[in-house]
Structure 1
Amino acid sequence: MRTIRPTATLAAALALTLAGCAGGNDGDTADAGAAPASTQTQEPMTEPAEEAPAAVMPMGTGDPFADTRTAAQHMPETAATLAGGFASALEIPGATDSAAAGLRAELTALLQEHVYLAGIAVATAYTTAPDSEEFAAAAATLDANSVALSEAVTSLAGEERGTAFLGLWREHIGYFVDYAVATKGGDTAGQEEALASLEAYTVEAGAFFEEVSGGELPAGDVAESLRMHVSTLSTAIDDLAAGSPEAYASLQAAAGHVVEGAGVIATGLSAAGGLEGDPNDDAAVLRAQLTAALQEHVYLAGISVFTAYTTEGGTGSEAFQAAAATLDGNSVALSEAVGTLAGAEQGTAFLDLWREHIGYFVDYAEAAAGDDDAAATAALTELDGYRGEAGAFFAEISAGELPADAVAEGLAMHVQTLAGAIDSLDQALVEAG
């Protein structure tokens, strides 16, 4: 596997590059170049081998960070479909398609994504050359998430408040950048200064959410939740800076915390806005849980491949084994959710099937790194076959509420976008040398 090593001037470049993305200009929206990945045209990045199944041709832009986000953004839609099928088949109380359920799922996806994209940006800065295009792309993708969050606030509270939120949110990302720079440089005073700025941010953000929710979200409660966000994400940054295998679990813990927070914020904003439905009914909670678990699968898979490509020893390294273990923990959690809905036996069957498809993605990543077209085609063929198996599985356990063909079609997009992100990552590392 290729390995890219950090340069000695990382700290200064990290400050310059991410601060530009995080700081903005008093809440201005992102430039065209930093548009959310979902707005980019997806084209096959490279010509696949002739035998590759057309249904699962990789789709990528050459930007691994935007492409990973595109792959992740597909999962909330899949989660909504699966949750709707299960809710209907099992007569789960509530509604998966209410406005309140939609808000909770949206905030779950966006806040979880914020943590993973922040972690990926820091890891990229610590791994690549500080002036690399890869790092700039990671920072731009993180900012696209910030813009998307501000648009969600705008839709509920108006453009002025959405703009204010974007400025505030970018500011707190800048403080995390300061913390990452200080941590990598062993600058204790710099760390303390960044943490003090983040503490002030939690108070300001608490007041903001209390105001926009008409008091439904008390400032003190929001500030306390944000303190936990600061604590968990700074721990993940500490682990990334130290090159600790614990970084992957730390990042997952930080993402898990904001998923909980999304439920609280959705409850307050739903009440303030008089949204139809209940964000805490069983069906809405199921949709949010599946959203978090499926989107996390994509980000943890992308992080695992990134680790294999950038760590000496590749898939045999301690770092990759830790990343893969965190990914497998997500698989186990998904299987437990299926087991709760359809029985322990079906949960076990799902886990075997899910792990198998992850293995095919690993095979594809290794083939891409080794320029082995035959092996890449074989992996895509296996993934194409997996789609049909998974479709039949979900049709069976949902008593037909989830048609096999519809599930298989949805999984085609999962395979195409994640394979495309792997191709883009491989290409980016080749260009970086």
Structure 2
Amino acid sequence: MPIPGHGRIWRALPLLCAGLLFLLPGAAPPAAPARYAKAPSAPDLAIQFEALLGQHSVLAADLMRSRIRGDDDFVQSANAALGKNTTAMTTLIGQMFGKPTADKFSPMWSEHIVALFAYAGALAAHDDAALDDARDELVEYEQELGDFFAGASKGRLPKSAARTAVVQHVGHLTEQADAYAAKDYTTADALYRMGYQHTYDLGLTLANALLPAGDAATLKQPLWRLRSQLGKLLAEHAALVEDLTRAAVTRSPDFAASGQMINGNTRDLAAAMDSLFGAPAARQFQALWGDHVEQLVAYATATAGQDQAKQAQAKAALAGIETRTATFLDGATGKRMGSDELKAALQEHDLMLLKHADAYAAKDYATAHDVAYDTYQEMFDLARQMADAFGATVAARLPKGGAQTGYGGMAAVVEKR
């Protein structure tokens, strides 16, 4: 289906210097989502941990890419979003494992981000000596972070496995930056997705190792697994749509590769629907979801061209897609998910993505990043709403392996209790 100004996205079935970093240990933690009016359970916290780690990967990759492009305004706003993510992660680790553990984590994680920033800067400057220095720093922080997680697990996560996990995370980020700097956007975007998926799943691996046995066991129950995996895919969708609309707004050369990224995410979501409801429902979902993505990109393209008529057309098309998607999911769940409630959630999702496109086109990068941050987090509310409506019986149909990297990431390396 054509996208104005950009040809066709094919749909298939089956994400500074140290002085600029706003990583302030004393910063106030972000307000808890509305669903956590009461103290969240350990499994709830574990899914938040997955979400924040996955978001870190996307934000770090975006920061590195913007530095390679020399886009200083975007760098600063991306960096602020990373600082917000780090503060939230530190607060969460304090909730899960205590303040002493959080106090150890925060400076190490901040130094890790500084080194990634330095690595991207060295790539941008074609400075081999600085690149070597950044690599040396990253190796040091990889070892420290791996040892930190292994120590926090009290032996349940072997030191070698923890180090390997952190090395792989850093490798995805540095290798995608290498490819992006070389203008190999297809490779860069494949690594962008791999980095997100691995880092998200790493959160579950760490939770399995660090949480009490009963809490970790809950995470293996079908409904919790579905909440985790739907959240992973829906949040990735939000991040990748934003990446694609940024490319559409700027008409950047990585647009085609960005389209392939979002197609991969749509394929994975359709595969999940296939497992849960069968191939006919998956095909219907895939068609609706693909139309949804295309209209968001059409809106971004119209925004870049200041074409209000085409913006209005895209908005009208999205309204129809929201209604049809809500009706489809309501039927798929046996009327357990009210179509009106779901339509409202989809409308809010689309409004946030349109607001992101507007802000980015206006070069209001701070607002764009704030909206993107909130949109990512909101997808976990939608995932929980959907999973609860699907129910444990349907959730049990989800394969134990995830769509890409496998349920639990490196869960196999966590020693038995």
TM-score between both structures, scaled by the size of structure 2 = 0.77
Q: Structure 2 residue aligned with 1:222, among 154, 162, 170?
A: 162
* Structure 2 partner of 1:327: 262
Deviation at residue 318 of structure 1 after TM alignment: 4.8
Are 2:139 and 1:207 equivalent residues in the alignment?
A: no
Correspondences of 1:294-305 after superposition (within 5 Å): 294-305=234-245
Deviation at residue 282 of structure 1 after TM alignment: 2.5
Task: List structure 1 runs of 4+ shifted beyond 4 angstroms.
Answer: none
Are 2:56 and 1:121 equivalent residues in the alignment?
A: no
Are 2:218 and 1:271 equivalent residues in the alignment?
A: no
Deviation at residue 227 of structure 1 after TM alignment: 0.8
Deviations 1:41-73 (A, max 9, x none): xxxxxxxxxxxxxxxxxxxxxxxxxxxxxxxx9
Q: Structure 2 residue aligned with 1:252, among 193, 205, 214?
A: 193
Correspondences of 1:11-410 after superposition (within 5 Å): 15-16=16-17, 19-22=18-21, 24=23, 28-30=25-27, 99-130=41-72, 132=73, 134-246=74-186, 247-271=188-212, 275=215, 278-310=218-250, 314=251, 318-410=253-345
Q: Provide the rounded CA distance (Å) in 1 between the counterparts of 2:234 and 2:19.
A: 31
Percent sequence identity over aligned pairs = 27
Alpha-carbon contact 1:335-1:348 (below 8 Å) kept = yes
Alpha-carbon contact 1:23-1:167 (below 8 Å) kept = no
Q: Provide the rounded CA distance (Å) in 1 between the counterparts of 2:137 and 2:329.
A: 48
Q: Provide the rounded CA distance (Å) in 2 between the counterparts of 1:185 and 1:191.
A: 9
Q: Provide the rounded CA distance (Å) in 2 between the counterparts of 1:204 and 1:128.
A: 30
Q: Which amino acid aligns with 1:257?
A: H
**3-state secondary structure, aligned to 1:386:** helix
How much is the aligned-residue C-alpha RMSD, in angstroms? 2.7
Long gaps (5+) in structure 1: 2-14, 40-72, 81-96
Long gaps (5+) in structure 2: 5-15, 367-417
Alpha-carbon contact 1:205-1:223 (below 8 Å) kept = yes
Cα pair distance change 1:218/1:99, threshold 3 Å:
farther
**3-state secondary structure, aligned to 2:207:** helix
Alpha-carbon contact 2:43-2:215 (below 8 Å) kept = no
**3-state secondary structure, aligned to 1:275:** helix
Query: In terms of mean alpha carbon deviation, does 107-116 or 335-344 score higher?
Result: 107-116
Deviation at residue 430 of structure 1 after TM alignment: 11
Deviation at residue 261 of structure 1 after TM alignment: 1.1
Deviation at residue 129 of structure 1 after TM alignment: 4.2
Q: Which has the higher contact order (CA 8 A, sep 6+)?
A: 1
Query: In terms of mean alpha carbon deviation, does 346-355 or 163-172 score higher?
Result: 163-172
Deviation at residue 378 of structure 1 after TM alignment: 2.0
Q: Provide the rounded CA distance (Å) in 1 between the counterparts of 2:347 and 2:328.
A: 16
Q: Provide the rounded CA distance (Å) in 1 between the counterparts of 2:209 and 2:348.
A: 34
Q: Provide the rounded CA distance (Å) in 1 between the counterparts of 2:133 and 2:58.
A: 24
* Structure 2 partner of 1:94: none
Q: Provide the rounded CA distance (Å) in 2 between the counterparts of 1:224 and 1:22.
A: 26
Deviation at residue 233 of structure 1 after TM alignment: 1.1
